[in-house]
Amino acid sequence: MINIVEMRSSILSFLMLVVGMLADHVWQLGFFTGTTRLIWYLLAYLPVAIPVIRKAISNLMKGDVFTEFFLMSIATLGAFAIGEFPEGVAVMLFYTVGELFQDAAVGRAKRNISALLDVRPESATVRRGKGFLTVHPEEVTVGETVQIKAGERIPLDGVMLSPASSFNTVALTGESKPRTIREGEEVLAGMININQVIQIRTTREFANSAISRILDLVRNAVARKAKTEQFIRRFARIYTPIVTFMAIGLVFLPWFFVSNYVFETWLYRGLIFLVISCPCALVVSIPLGYFGGIGAASRRGILFKGSAFLDRITEVNTVALDKTGTLTEGIFAVREVVPAAAEGDPQSDFLQLVTALESQSNHPIAQAITRFGVENGVQLDQAVIDAAEEIPGQGLRGSVNGRRVLAGNTRLLTQHHIAIDPLLQEKMEKTSGSLVAVAVDGQYAGYLVVDDRIKEDAPEAIRKLRQAGIKETVLLSGDRTAVAAKVAKDLSMDRYFGDLLPHQKVEQIELLKKDPSRVVAFAGDGINDAPALALSDVGIAMGGLGSDAAIETADVVIQTDRPSQIATAIRIGKATKHIVWQNIGMAFGVKALVLLLGAAGFATMWGAVFADVGVALLAIANAVRIQHKKF
């Protein structure tokens, strides 16, 4: 937002400057000379100069001498000292106007980024006693029942208690297409309920909701600076004192070499040099370019955790992807159930035991088995489950109704010295689904086949990655190698690896990174992907619905379930970097030209104003352009 006081001061100075110049060159008033003229221009100068001079003095007191405020103060006071009153006022006036525009542009960019996501509702209708009470979402605890009417936003994360409803998820995913969520499925704060009155049971507090977490990520993004941005800030600290001493040299050194040396002439040139050399165009327009890139990505459901990652993603040439939930839908369905025991055998409650154990996990395969078991008559409330433990990359083990149950891949059974039916190996080689082997009380008890589907836009994602300059795509999956091979073949990926435990995914990332020419991005969505996300050059968490560990570890969060957004993120990063370097080239090019003209005596203070303020405004306009660019 533009500072109203500074804007009014600028208008006053501008009007007084115009009147003064008319009095100088058009009206030619007899009394407008000498002291009267000095006082008039001084009164025009002070409203815009006082804040700048105050900042210069404040920085001087802190030991920070060479700032843009110092440059402008010295240049304009010097202009007054040699009688160039209108130029002195004009330089300070247009500098102030430029700063107002810069502050407004940066402020707007920051507000736009926050406003994209800060859609948390201010109230929640929660069941208290026999009725419903409207309270602030912060007052709602985990496990309470909240009612949401059609058209209202979901105030907290929770689980659907109503049969079904459609939701607008644009605040979380950037997707305008409504999504249907059914009983027992997760709903997230920020979604808009479209159809009817529904009820949810809260699963997280307001401060820990998905939308709050995402908003914090975006707000903190500005703290992680790109290397270009860090370099320009360091460069400005070195550059400013150098040009100050060069300006001093420009004033005094010609005395030794020029026969008709006139101090006022060379002082004027030195002052022009100071005005031109002010680095504000670079210091402001470059961060603004990155703000624009972060904002443009956020509007498309892509969260960069800092401008550093906008830069880094442009260098990526190898993309490794997890399979389940990243390239496939992660919505599994049980296709086949094959118990080893016949009816009447002690092992015949196979489905009851495996459903009860799998109900203790949030893994998509476990949820599919639980859903299938309940639909086929399994009564979970009659099961006594004890010591259930999830073993990453293998499966589950625990006690159900006093019986020891294992459910997972064949490695889990092998590690527990359980003999596997030889036909099971043959089945594994033929099926394209995920096979869950089960053992009860130390004996093989049967298996289930659970199927997943490739996402609709997964083939497009691989194609777009190649168009974006990615040289190699690699599939890293904890699923069987046969399943990984089929998915990689269907998507025309370059390489695949299956049967990977979390630490083995890390090892594969390490092997890829051993080639110094590779910059590796890894995309995943599960808690078991967090180590690989942390190790990769750019970690990409798939889905605002992905695990907290993946989202916290990743550098980039794709809020939709669309892997094609990875290529969009790369294109936004490249467009941002392109605009930033355009601004650097434009600022240095124009300044270098006018500096040479000023030193040679061909540029005036008005040219210096254009080289400083004009270039800054052009750079700002160029930086804002990315927010309206189509990707």
Q: Is residue 570 within 8 Å of 318, Cβ to Cβ?
A: no
Q: What is the pLDDT of residue 213?
A: 65
Residues 543 and 559: their CA atoms lie apart, in Å, by 4
Q: Tell me the CA distances in angstroms from 442 to 251, 399, 413, 570, 628, one per residue in order.
A: 92, 12, 9, 50, 63
User: What is the 3 state secondary structure string of 156-208?
Assistant: CCEEECCCEEEEECHHHHCCCCCEEEECCCEECCCCEECCCCEEEEECCCHHH
Residue range 370-397: mean pLDDT, rounded: 85
Q: Do residue 110 and residue 231 come from a single domain?
A: yes
Q: What is the pLDDT of residue 320?
A: 94
Q: What is the pLDDT of residue 89?
A: 81
Residues 573 and 303: their CA atoms lie apart, in Å, by 12
Domain membership flag for residue 98: yes
Residues 143 and 157: their CA atoms lie apart, in Å, by 11
**Tokens 């061909």 found at:** 602
Closest CA to 158 of 541, 150, 167: 167
Q: Do residue 88 and residue 177 come from a single domain?
A: no
Q: Is the pLDDT of residue 399 over 50?
A: yes
In sequence order, which ranges of 502-604 are alpha helices (DSSP H)? 502-513, 530-535, 548-553, 565-599
Pick the more confident residue, 372 or 341.
372
Mean pLDDT, the chain, whole residue set: 80
Last residue of a domain, one of 574, 591, 615: 574
Q: Is the pLDDT of residue 36 over 50?
A: yes
Residue-wise pLDDT for 440-494, tens only, equals: 988 888 889 888 788 888 999 999 999 999 999 999 987 778 888 888 998 999 9
Residue range 323-346: mean pLDDT, rounded: 75
Lowest mean pLDDT among 112-116, 122-126, 311-315: 112-116
Pick the more confident residue, 622 or 526.
622
Residue-wise pLDDT for 98-114, tens only, equals: 677 666 665 665 555 55
Beta bridge partners of 304: 556
Q: What is the pLDDT of residue 347?
A: 46
Residue-wise pLDDT for 243-279, tens only, equals: 778 878 888 888 888 888 888 888 878 877 777 777 6
Residue range 195-213: mean pLDDT, rounded: 81
Residues 570 and 367: their CA atoms lie apart, in Å, by 34
Q: Which two tokens stand for residue 561?
A: 């379930």
Range of the domain at 555: 304-329+454-574
322 given a catalytic annotation: yes
| Terminal-to-terminal C-alpha distance of the chain | 28
Closest CA to 472 of 455, 449, 488, 450: 488
The whole-angstrom distance between residue 105's C-alpha and the CA centroid of its chain comes to: 19
Residue-wise pLDDT for 146-181, tens only, equals: 998 888 888 888 999 988 888 877 655 545 567 788
Q: What is the pLDDT of residue 406?
A: 93
| C-alpha torsion 367→373→375→376, nearest 10 | 170
Domain membership flag for residue 534: yes
Q: Which two tokens stand for residue 140?
A: 């709602």
> Which of 118, 157, 311, 322 is flagged as catalytic?
322
- In a 13 Å sphere around the CA of 510, the CA atoms on its Cβ side amount to 7
Domain membership flag for residue 214: no
Q: Do residue 156 and residue 33 come from a single domain?
A: no
Closest CA to 520 of 482, 473, 467, 567: 473
> What residues contact residue 27 under an 8 Å CB cut-off, 6+ apart?
none
In sequence order, which ranges of 600-614 are alpha helices (DSSP H)? 605-609
Residue 228 CB-density burial (10 A; 0-12 exposed, 13-18 middle, 19+ buried):
buried
Beta bridge partners of 557: 303, 541
Q: Is the pLDDT of residue 228 over 60?
A: no
Query: What CATH number has the domain bearing residue 166?
Result: 2.70.150.10
Q: Confidence class of residue 316 from pLDDT cuts 50, 70 and 90?
A: very high
Task: Give the max Cα distance, the chain.
Answer: 119
Domain membership flag for residue 260: yes
Last residue of a domain, one of 208, 230, 259: 208
Residues 191 and 171: their CA atoms lie apart, in Å, by 7
How does DSSP assign 439-465, residue by residue? EETTEEEEEEEEE--B-TTHHHHHHHH
Interstrand relation of 472-476 and 443-451 (parallel, antiparallel or unpaired): unpaired
Strand order in the sheet with 495-497: 302-304, 556-558, 538-542, 520-524, 318-322, 472-476, 495-497
DSSP assignment letter at 72: H
Q: Do residue 131 and residue 110 come from a single domain?
A: no
The total number of structural domains in the chain stands at 4
Last residue of a domain, one of 403, 422, 451: 451
Q: Do residue 463 and residue 559 come from a single domain?
A: yes
Q: What percent of the chain shows pLDDT beyond 70? A: 83
Q: Do residue 276 and residue 180 come from a single domain?
A: no
Residue range 47-51: mean pLDDT, rounded: 87
Beta bridge partners of 42: none
Pick the more confident residue, 520 or 526.
520
Domain membership flag for residue 298: no
Domain membership flag for residue 213: no
Q: Do residue 308 and residue 176 come from a single domain?
A: no
Q: Is residue 180 within 8 Å of 151, Cβ to Cβ?
A: no
Domain membership flag for residue 215: no
Q: Do residue 204 and residue 237 come from a single domain?
A: no
Residue range 32-51: mean pLDDT, rounded: 86
Length of the chain: 631
> What residues contact residue 401 under an 8 Å CB cut-off, 6+ apart?
353, 356, 383, 384
Q: Do residue 282 and residue 187 come from a single domain?
A: no
Query: What CATH number has the domain bearing residue 473?
Result: 3.40.50.1000
Q: What is the pLDDT of residue 63?
A: 76
Q: Confidence class of residue 19 from pLDDT cuts 50, 70 and 90?
A: confident
Q: Is the pLDDT of residue 33 over 70?
A: yes
Q: Which residues of 156-188 are buried (b: 16+ CB within 10 A; e: fewer)?
A: bbbebebeebbbbbbbbbbbeebbebeeeeebb
Q: Do residue 109 and residue 232 come from a single domain?
A: yes
Closest CA to 387 of 374, 401, 373: 401
Residue range 339-349: mean pLDDT, rounded: 61
> What residues contact residue 273 under an 8 Å CB cut-off, 6+ apart?
243, 246, 247, 250, 595, 598, 599
| C-alpha torsion 495→501→506→511, nearest 10 | -40
Domain membership flag for residue 299: no
Q: Do residue 491 and residue 555 come from a single domain?
A: yes
**In degrees rounded to 5, what are phi and psi of residue 39?**
-60, -45
Closest CA to 224 of 281, 283, 294, 284: 294
Residues 349 and 66: their CA atoms lie apart, in Å, by 80
Lowest mean pLDDT among 232-236, 369-373, 474-478: 232-236
Q: What is the pLDDT of residue 346?
A: 47
Residue-wise pLDDT for 552-562, tens only, equals: 677 888 877 78
Residues 467 and 588: their CA atoms lie apart, in Å, by 32
DSSP assignment letter at 126: E
Pick the more confident residue, 282 or 399.
399
Pick the more confident residue, 155 or 422.
155
Lowest mean pLDDT among 123-127, 160-164, 207-211, 375-379: 207-211
- In a 13 Å sphere around the CA of 630, the CA atoms on its Cβ side amount to 0
Q: What is the pLDDT of residue 210?
A: 65
Residues 554 and 531: their CA atoms lie apart, in Å, by 10
Query: What CATH number has the domain bearing residue 388?
Result: 3.40.1110.10
Lowest mean pLDDT among 31-40, 402-411, 622-631: 622-631
Q: Do residue 197 and residue 232 come from a single domain?
A: no
pTM: 0.64
